Structure 1
Amino acid sequence: MKQQNNWNVFLSYIKQAKIPKWMIAVALLLSLIETAGILIVPVFTGDIVDQFALGQLNVLLIAVLIGAFVLQAVAGAVSYYLMSYMGEWVVADVRKQLWRRILHLPISYFDASPSGETMSRMTHDTDTLKRLITDQLVSFVSGIITVLGAAIILLIIDWKMMLLMLLVVPLAIVVLHPAGQKMYQVSLKTQDEMASFSAGMARVLGDIRLVKAYNAEAEEGSRGTSAVDRLFRFGIRQAKILAIISPLMTMVMMIVLVLLIGYGGSQVASGALTAGTMVMMMLYLFQLIFPFTQLTSFFTEFQKAMGATERIQKLFSDADELQAEEQIKTYTPIPAEEQDIHFQHVSFYYPSAQQEEERVLTDINCTIPAGKVTAVVGPSGSGKTTMFGLLERFYQPVEGDILYGSASLQDVKLSDWRNQIGYVSQESPLMDGTIRENICYGLENVPDEQVRQAAELAYAADFIDGFPNGFETKVGERGMKLSGGQRQRIAIARALIRDPKILMLDEATSSLDSESERVIQKALQTLMKGRTTIAIAHRLSTVINADQIIMLEKGSITGIGKHEELLAEHPLYRKLAEQQFNQ
């Protein structure tokens, strides 16, 4: 039943691709012409054999036979190209849909799924679909047409021989069905293992500096070797299944062929058939048998494709951010004026949490005033970054709600809300590309003057101008060609250029030296005026001038006030301040 559902899903991919109808019609017409050419050849071949037996030779007949060969070859070539083109079209459409779906999956999905596994779905699994369509389905369709044509002709010529051929069908089912079920299960496990292997490679290559810094090459080499060995064992299991299917199918075909040749030979000996007719029938028999020999290859790829379809469909079935928004019939527009942000009894825990004690945030109640600077401080693991994740709507509160003014964030269009936010994280992620592309990331048609202004406000223009290619300098994968401070300043420029209403700073100056931090703090102070700013900070020196400081401990708010108020009234805050300022 599951395979039938996967087959229906697979067919739906073909329908959704919206292949031009004229292309389908031309491909089918050429397939019919190719089949006609193939089916004509035995008839003329039989006549030529009979003419040879009589010592005659019809030149026109030979010319027609050559013409049939040429027609079949040309029609087959064009038909194969069109069918392959349509196969590539379908797979390209699936990949586009899958890529759009992946981009809109919630952060919770990426928290639970290694990126390498997702990459495997996008590349390896879709490539499995591609092989079925372009390599197997093309020959399968043309083979079916050929089988039907040859079967009809054989039925007309000698129905008894056709009945002998029909013995193949139940025998093939007996051989292929149980093996197919096993191949399907092995294919699923193989694709899972390949996804896990891809995830491991992505993890290691993404943190190759860590691997080398801690001399972990041997450990990672051992893990990789174990993963390859597991893939090897799954490959051997597939080979064992094929080792059973292929010889059995070949044996069945040989038995049927021997019976047919014996029967046909007896008919020729008795004079019931001419030698030419016998040759013609043998050619038709081969046209029936050859597609059956291809069945094993098609069957194997079909089972793999059904497994790949199930994996891909799982991604399509996961709810994404766009689907969640589609359930909202009317969006609440975001006011032009800045509004206070209210956390109302917000609690949150990650999906993997099993008990209430694993909550990251518990009953958060606070107001972040518009146009003011609010700092969130507290020990590591207290929930500061999770608060940011909720504000960015990476996650949804398990309990409670977050309001912008009087509107729940759940009623505001996600893209509109995120357009209000400029975000600078402590990791300063950069995309592989130029400095300009990173500053303008997510924006289109940004004037050069605006890019430079953002860089100057972030105090990044000086070091950018020092590069030979300036703003067109390639930053490398994850920005590794730049220093930590340079990456941080480009990230700040990226936030500045959006001119956001809400500025979110997650340890925004953590990678800077003292001099750079002092300069950028000054720039940020100017930028924060009249703008709602929320800053996470471990170093209290960066937030002592904040209009409001929220103290978090173990996921709960234990204090709200200015620096002086918390210093006087909050024991943990005072302890942290003494530790940092007395160093």
Structure 2
Amino acid sequence: MENEHHLQQDEQQDWKQEKPTKRPNKAGMGRFIKLIASAHPPKAILIIAMILTLVQTVAGLIVPLMTKGLIDGLTFSSLNRMVIFGLLGAFVLQAVASAVSIYMLNFAGHKIVANLRKRLWHKILSLPIPYFDRNRSGDTMSRVTNDTSLIMNLITEYLVNLISNVIAIIGGIALLFYLDWVMTLIILTIVPLTALILFPVGRKMYRISKKQQDEMADLTSVLSQVIGEIRLVKAYGTESREAKAGEDRIYRMFRFGLQESRILALVGPISTFLLTAVLVIILGVGGVRVASGMLTAGDLVAFILLLFQVITPMAQFTTLYSRLQKVVGATERIQSILDHEEEPLELKLEAAKESRDIVLHDVAFSYTEGEEVLHNANLVIPANRTTAFVGPSGSGKSTLFSLLERFYVPNTGEICYGDDPISSYTLSSWRSKIGYVSQESSMMSGTVRDNITYGLGREADLEEVRQAARMAYADTFIMDLPQGYDTEVGERGMKLSGGQRQRIAIARALLRSPDILMLDEATSSLDSSSEHEVQKALANLMEGRTTIVIAHRLSTVVHSDQIIVLDKGKVTGAGTHAELIESHQVYRELAQKQFVEMGERSMEH
């Protein structure tokens, strides 16, 4: 009872807060038409489907007239075989034209939505990282799946039939006037009354449907996040908390479903009542006119059949109106992605296969305006040397990596590769110079071989893959797997251990043969045995390359050619380990603290 009470309160609140819904304006329809045109619809198929739909419509209008002749012929005891054959032919023509046109319309709808989804997918892959920082993955997924499905349903079920429906209505009304203008005028007086009732209901239905779409996007976001991090959920025992969050979303969708059901429960009886009333009036008036000799029995039957052929398209217009409103909203959401600025994939220079110094000139960056993460950073990362970045969490180390990979653009200043700004290179050529190994060891679903060759951009034979794996000290454990290099690693590589994933990531970087190697605390999450193997693999990978390391444990970088200290987004020191011990107080204190802790742990073991 308490849930029902809250349900009623929530529904009343939603009803009060609803704002008037705008009708699909010309600009919205223009965007929709432009979006469909950009999806390269199969025009020939659409034209043929439209012609067949018109044939079906005309055949449908002929059937009542032939039925009139048949009934009148029976009345006068003179069975006309031509009328019977003509009626059967019209039925067959209508059925065949309907079947073929339905298939072709569905083909066209699926083709359009496939092209649109392909375009959206390519667009999403070309969007810059800040877009994904600001938008939930579930919302983006909903644009590709749910919103495009709305467009497909409109095309296959309503839009192309619009012209045939108009012809059916105009032709049907003209034939109704031809058969009996008095009864036709009576019917036409009821049409405005029906519109006054059904159109407001259609707008209400649209508002509810729109909210359902928004709730579906929210639910998709929650589900994708929780399922993607299910191990974290179970490890910390938050199943009940996440169950409650999911239940809240499902309950809100349930509420909107109930509102929709109430409207449908209202629309159904009203539509049935109006249809029955029209039929009773026509039968009453028509019966009188047949009895008086003003109409034949065939005229009355033809009139009723034509009436149904006019009412059905009219009813579709109400649904079409509601669907158009939903699709205009979906179009706006899709267009917001398509209009978003992409990463500049093609600029003027291709990055050559060579090593140069990386130089930062007064680089400043902030994720949020007014909250700088890096402050006027000036530094040089020498070619073919190892440079390590150290500093407390939040000092800007990972941000610096993101700027070097061009996931973000500095607010001010410039990053150069030798004398050329890295922004002058094409993204593909610049990123092809970089090999990245992180502490998370990112893996894709697929085989071990798929993950080692991921992003290579060319075919690699098995021996080449095995050579990279051997240098990464990964070949031995890979060959011990059930299917060797063809073993499936599972979602995000969960079938492998952390050390195994790291060595596969290193093999991937070795196969790529990058000029610049970026290591983001690549051994921090490993046990001592795995770390030893990974360190040997990293030594092979680092040889002869410009290597940039993020380190939290100074013991892993004491032999670096250069160590740069970051603190609160500022470069506070640079030099070798020995030089910084002498000259940098914060670094000295950090080193002393870490090495003392390491000594204590060694004594404990």
The TM-score, its normalising length taken from structure 2, stands at 0.89
Match of 2:410 among 393, 397, 416: 397
1:318 lines up with 2:340 in the alignment:
yes
The amino acid of 1:415's aligned partner reads S
The answer for the alignment partner of 1:227 in structure 2 is 249
Report deviation, 1:90: 1.0
Match of 2:579 among 554, 565, 572: 565
Can you list the C-alpha shifts for 1:59-102, whole angstroms capped at 9, x where unaligned? 23212211211111111101111011111111111111111111
Aligned with 2:512: secondary structure?
coil
1:25 lines up with 2:39 in the alignment:
no
Contact 2:499–2:534 (Cα < 8 Å) also in 1 = no
Match of 1:281 among 303, 306, 309: 303
Report deviation, 1:491: 0.9
Q: 1:42, 1:432 → 2: CA distance? A: 60
The answer for the alignment partner of 1:414 in structure 2 is 427
Can you list the C-alpha shifts for 1:153-190, whole angstroms capped at 9, x where unaligned? 22444444444443355334433444444334333322
Can you list the C-alpha shifts for 1:423-456, whole angstroms capped at 9, x where unaligned? 1111111011001001111223112122111111
Q: 1:310, 1:265 → 2: CA distance? A: 53
The answer for the alignment partner of 1:454 in structure 2 is 468
Q: 2:166, 2:330 → 1: CA distance? A: 24
Report deviation, 1:6: 3.3
Q: Aligned runs of 1:194-205 on 2, under 5 Å?
A: 194-205=216-227
The amino acid of 2:306's aligned partner reads Y
Contact 2:56–2:93 (Cα < 8 Å) also in 1 = yes
Q: 1:12, 1:169 → 2: CA distance? A: 33
Unaligned runs of 5+ in 2: 1-21, 599-605
**123-132 vs 27-36, which moves further:** 123-132
1:515 lines up with 2:529 in the alignment:
yes
The amino acid of 2:387's aligned partner reads T
Q: 1:74, 1:194 → 2: CA distance? A: 38
The amino acid of 1:579's aligned partner reads K
Match of 2:441 among 428, 432, 451: 428
Aligned with 2:108: secondary structure?
helix
Match of 2:514 among 490, 500, 510: 500
Can you list the C-alpha shifts for 1:98-131, whole angstroms capped at 9, x where unaligned? 1111111111121222222222222222222222
Contact 2:203–2:322 (Cα < 8 Å) also in 1 = no
1:3 lines up with 2:16 in the alignment:
no
The answer for the alignment partner of 1:545 in structure 2 is 559
Report deviation, 1:318: 2.1
Can you list the C-alpha shifts for 1:342-372, whole angstroms capped at 9, x where unaligned? 111111111xx35x3x321111111111221
The amino acid of 2:376's aligned partner reads D
The amino acid of 2:470's aligned partner reads E
The amino acid of 1:318's aligned partner reads H
Q: 2:43, 2:326 → 1: CA distance? A: 28
1:65 lines up with 2:87 in the alignment:
yes
Q: 1:475, 1:49 → 2: CA distance? A: 73
1:332 lines up with 2:368 in the alignment:
no
Q: 1:442, 1:281 → 2: CA distance? A: 68
Q: 2:180, 2:127 → 1: CA distance? A: 61
Can you list the C-alpha shifts for 1:124-165, whole angstroms capped at 9, x where unaligned? 222222222223445555433322332232244444444444
Contact 1:183–1:304 (Cα < 8 Å) also in 2 = no
Q: 1:187, 1:317 → 2: CA distance? A: 25
The answer for the alignment partner of 2:286 in structure 1 is 264
Match of 1:151 among 168, 173, 176: 173
The amino acid of 1:501's aligned partner reads D
1:341 lines up with 2:370 in the alignment:
no
Structure 1 pair 181/35, CA: closer, same or farther in 2 (3 Å)?
A: closer
Match of 1:238 among 236, 240, 260: 260
Contact 2:478–2:485 (Cα < 8 Å) also in 1 = yes
Q: 1:446, 1:439 → 2: CA distance? A: 10
Q: 1:568, 1:345 → 2: CA distance? A: 26
Q: 1:21, 1:131 → 2: CA distance? A: 18
Determine what percentage of the aligned residue pairs are the same residue: 51
The answer for the alignment partner of 1:45 in structure 2 is 67
Q: 2:415, 2:197 → 1: CA distance? A: 61
Aligned with 1:363: secondary structure?
strand
The answer for the alignment partner of 1:472 in structure 2 is 486
Structure 1 pair 161/18, CA: closer, same or farther in 2 (3 Å)?
A: farther
Q: 1:436, 1:105 → 2: CA distance? A: 28
The amino acid of 1:385's aligned partner reads S
Q: 1:260, 1:104 → 2: CA distance? A: 62
1:438 lines up with 2:438 in the alignment:
no
Report deviation, 1:217: 1.4
1:214 lines up with 2:236 in the alignment:
yes
Report deviation, 1:325: 5.1
Q: 1:316, 1:211 → 2: CA distance? A: 34
Report deviation, 1:258: 4.1
**298-307 vs 88-97, which moves further:** 298-307
The answer for the alignment partner of 1:379 in structure 2 is 392
The amino acid of 2:396's aligned partner reads G
The answer for the alignment partner of 1:533 in structure 2 is 547
Contact 1:421–1:504 (Cα < 8 Å) also in 2 = yes
Report deviation, 1:477: 0.4
Aligned with 1:225: secondary structure?
helix
The amino acid of 2:422's aligned partner reads L
The amino acid of 2:357's aligned partner reads D
The amino acid of 1:452's aligned partner reads R
Q: How many residues align?
A: 574
The answer for the alignment partner of 2:35 in structure 1 is 13
Q: 2:445, 2:505 → 1: CA distance? A: 13
Aligned with 1:497: secondary structure?
helix
Q: 2:189, 2:329 → 1: CA distance? A: 30
Report deviation, 1:259: 4.0
The answer for the alignment partner of 2:378 in structure 1 is 365
1:117 lines up with 2:139 in the alignment:
yes
Can you list the C-alpha shifts for 1:386-417, whole angstroms capped at 9, x where unaligned? 11111111111122221122222222211111
Q: 1:167, 1:555 → 2: CA distance? A: 75
Q: 2:320, 2:268 → 1: CA distance? A: 12
Q: 2:401, 2:263 → 1: CA distance? A: 52
Q: 1:316, 1:185 → 2: CA distance? A: 25
Q: 2:495, 2:452 → 1: CA distance? A: 16
Contact 2:573–2:580 (Cα < 8 Å) also in 1 = yes
Contact 1:249–1:293 (Cα < 8 Å) also in 2 = no
Aligned with 2:441: secondary structure?
coil
**244-253 vs 429-438, which moves further:** 244-253
Please, what is the CA RMSD of the aligned residues?
2.2
Contact 1:434–1:475 (Cα < 8 Å) also in 2 = yes
Q: 1:201, 1:97 → 2: CA distance? A: 25
